[in-house]
Amino acid sequence: MQMKVVALPKVYDYLENLVTILYEKDYFGLKESAHKYVDDLFDDIIVTLPIRLHKTAPKHFDKYGKGMKYAAFPQNKRTIWYAFLQHIAKMTKKYILFATLQITIR
């Protein structure tokens, strides 16, 4: 049985806001380029999350739910995105995606 990733509505809101932030802070010269970057990131998360290593999230994230996990999604030498998730049903192999955060490595 294949695993399924379900994103909460707030994840879509976060990603739409991210497009605007990336464009307004001049990470991308065109808003369409920022949108493509975010779309590609989300596609990568949805497709590869079930096969990526999931680590236990720090206790700080317990306020969003018990047993939170996260997976890393490197985009380049300086940027790694983290997807926070919860495994909600072992029998159906379903995950809920809660949010993504950017970590910039120097």
Q: What is the pTM of this model?
A: 0.78
More reliable by pLDDT, 81 or 63: 81
Residue 35 contacts residue 22 (beta carbons within 8 Å): no
CATH of the domain at 92: 3.30.2310.20
99 and 57 in contact (C-beta within 8 Å)?
no
pLDDT digits (tens, 9 = 90+) for 10-34: 888 889 999 999 999 999 999 999 9
Q: Are residues 83 and 73 in contact, defined by beta-carbon separation less than 8 angstroms?
A: yes
Domain that holds residue 84: 4-104
* 67-102 residue pLDDT tens: 788 888 988 888 888 888 876 655 455 566 655 554
Structural domains counted in the chain: 1
- pLDDT recorded at residue 4: 74
